[in-house]
Structure 1
Amino acid sequence: MSYADQLFIDMCKDILDHGTSTEGEKVRPHWADGTPAYTIKQFGVVNRYDLSKEFPALTLRKTYVKSAIDELLWIWQRKSNNVKDLKSSIWDEWADENGSIGKAYGYQMRVKHQYPEGMMDQVDRVIYDLKNHPFSRRIMTNIYVHQDLHEMNLYPCAYSMTFNVTQKPGHDKLTLNAILNQRSQDILAANNWNVVQYSVLVYMMAQVCDMEPGELVHVIADAHIYDRHIPIIQEMIQRKTYPAPKFWMNPDVKDFYEFTLDDFKVEDYQAGEQIKDIPIAI
């Protein structure tokens, strides 16, 4: 069993056994048929993944790693807020007639800000600090910009990354760690998707800044399982598990903006049967 599987199983059991229900409350999300989408939720879930030991892709069911990486590149590398720049259609629900999701996600990553060293966007600032001030405690991004919320078609769920560098005894290279802050997460549909994405981001940042990947700490304020997902989750966490797959990233890429989807591979990925047609609350 991979560590990611065990962590996911334990988290789901804890939410189902000890979480609180929103049934009967006034909730924003609803199903396609208009029915309110209630949840069982747990506040303040914190999961830690040691990326130096394994790639945290679930084996209970397969995570589409290439699609997850494409979305990550869409936000962090291409800095786009237009679904026409994305290979999948998962964001189409929130796009306008021109494909835009408003001033959300990639839009915020490309906004330039004034720093003592000059004008930079948030991604370039992270890379600059990791290369020049690696032990700074100020290396972070934030795309939950209140002044722009009214122009976002979807408020950011995973909204902040904080990077922190440590020096492991006996290691020549520094170790890059990160905290992903998420205000809300649909555990069935999005948990491992986000874990895989931001794990890959740590690998990428570590490589271009000549560091080793360390820990990804995932902080979820509202970790929830939707009512129509409960039987799916209950079946899924009883499944057979497999060893974690191997992750490969092209070691020759040293510029963050030169990575392409071809520079990533997941090998020996065994997983349980895919779950199709998962209902998504909107």
Structure 2
Amino acid sequence: MARHQEYQYLDLVEHVLKHGDRRIDRTGVGTLASFGAMLRFDMSDGTFPVYTTKRVYWKTAVKEMLWFLTGQTNIRSLLQENVRIWTDWPLDKYRKASGSDISQEDFEARILADEEFALQWGDLGPVYGKQWRRWVGPDGKEYDQIASVIQTLRTNPTSRRMLFHAWNVADLDQMALNPCHNFYQFFVSGLNGDQTPKLSLMVGIRSNDLGLGNPFNTCQQAALLAMVAQQVDMVPHELICVGGDVHLYLNHIELAETILQREPRPFPKLRLLRRPDSIDGYRIEDFEVTGYDPHPAIEAPVAV
């Protein structure tokens, strides 16, 4: 019997826990860190790689991916979808600027109620979606990297240039958070046979938080692969995640030790219930996930 694919993740967590380099990081929390890792997930049978050794809120992860695809950068639209994962950064900025100790709940309520306040305090700068869909060239022209990749997949699927990224050096200092998953490249196989071509996606992650970020990102990147494959009449094949600085925050050690004691359960299956006219048309209701039976969730703090 084949080894459960989630053990790749658990083996990496165990390696970093035992051999990671202890260091103080940007956030001041501190990490155990290793350099260079690869995880490969086969999605060809409908598998949706959502980890099971702790519950991953896959709908929240997919909603964030759908938000990236809109090109938006303000948390207001996320909060309208009940997604709170980006609030920490603008909240921290507002507290420092105003001297207020406003609660996260009250800050989010004000963002939702007051559009002008949201415009001033809810924007994250030119983060992921802005670069993916509206990268601005030196001539002022906007470039839609996602649309270009999809067009190339349809017209020249053996191209080695089917990629997009978010590391826009000129914009980094304006971003609430520099992009962690910053390089996406597609690869098509099976073009010479009589079967449907297979689409794979490799994601480069410069900074990979194993406790919270990795489980979340793996799930949403798998959703992206499924969407793009459907749009170009292919089937999802492999999701490949390549980490640079892979790390565990020191306040996630207990989380890591807990999941290592748990036995992985079968990954769920993913089916897209509808084929929108374009990559822009997907909604969370289009994702049918069946057979997800994870171990209980583990609460852990986000390092800002």
Post-superposition CA distance 1:124-144 (Å, at most 9, x none): 111111111111100110111
Helix, strand or coil: the match of 2:132? helix
CA distance in 2, matches of 1:235, 1:89: 25
TM-superposed deviation, 1:119: 6.9
Aligned: 1:167 with 2:168: no
Helix, strand or coil: the match of 1:69? helix
Residue 256 (structure 1) aligned to one of 279, 290, 300? 279
TM-superposed deviation, 1:173: 1.5
TM-score (norm 2): 0.83
Residue 207 (structure 1) aligned to one of 206, 230, 242? 230
Q: Is the 8 A contact 1:3 1:56 kept in 2?
A: no
Residue 301 (structure 2) aligned to one of 268, 279, 282? 279
CA distance in 1, matches of 2:61, 2:274: 20
Residue 149 (structure 2) aligns with:
126
Paired amino acid for 1:29: T
CA distance in 1, matches of 2:231, 2:189: 16
Paired amino acid for 1:238: Q
CA distance in 2, matches of 1:85, 1:59: 29
CA distance in 1, matches of 2:132, 2:76: 18
Gaps of 5+ in 1: 31-36
Equivalent positions of 1:1-282 (< 5 A) are 3-22=4-23, 25=24, 27-30=25-28, 37-53=29-45, 54-76=47-69, 78-86=70-78, 87=81, 88-95=83-90, 97-111=120-134, 120-167=143-190, 170-276=193-299, 278-282=300-304
CA distance in 2, matches of 1:241, 1:177: 24
Q: Is the 8 A contact 1:113 1:121 kept in 2?
A: no
TM-superposed deviation, 1:263: 0.2
CA distance in 2, matches of 1:185, 1:106: 19
TM-superposed deviation, 1:169: 6.6
CA distance in 1, matches of 2:3, 2:52: 8
Paired amino acid for 2:242: V
CA distance in 1, matches of 2:9, 2:157: 32
Post-superposition CA distance 1:72-119 (Å, at most 9, x none): 01012x1111111112111012236431100111111222568xxx97
Q: Is the 8 A contact 1:2 1:56 kept in 2?
A: no
Structure 1 residues 200 and 193, CA, compared in 2 at 3 Å: closer, same or farther? Answer: same
The structure 1 segments of at least 4 consecutive aligned residues displaced by more than 6 Å after TM superposition are none
Q: Is the 8 A contact 1:181 1:220 kept in 2?
A: yes
TM-superposed deviation, 1:155: 0.5
CA distance in 2, matches of 1:119, 1:147: 14
Q: Is the 8 A contact 2:127 2:177 kept in 1?
A: yes
Structure 1 residues 234 and 207, CA, compared in 2 at 3 Å: closer, same or farther? Answer: same
TM-superposed deviation, 1:156: 0.6
How well do the aligned residues superpose, as a CA RMSD in angstroms? 2.0
Structure 1 residues 253 and 3, CA, compared in 2 at 3 Å: closer, same or farther? Answer: farther
CA distance in 1, matches of 2:142, 2:67: 22
Q: Is the 8 A contact 2:52 2:265 kept in 1?
A: yes
Residue 33 (structure 1) aligns with:
none
TM-superposed deviation, 1:241: 2.6
CA distance in 2, matches of 1:194, 1:226: 17
CA distance in 2, matches of 1:180, 1:126: 14
Gaps of 5+ in 2: 94-119
Paired amino acid for 2:22: S
Q: Is the 8 A contact 2:231 2:275 kept in 1?
A: no
Structure 1 residues 168 and 2, CA, compared in 2 at 3 Å: closer, same or farther? Answer: farther
Q: Is the 8 A contact 1:206 1:212 kept in 2?
A: yes
CA distance in 2, matches of 1:222, 1:45: 9
TM-superposed deviation, 1:237: 1.4
Q: Is the 8 A contact 2:9 2:39 kept in 1?
A: no
CA distance in 2, matches of 1:224, 1:112: 29
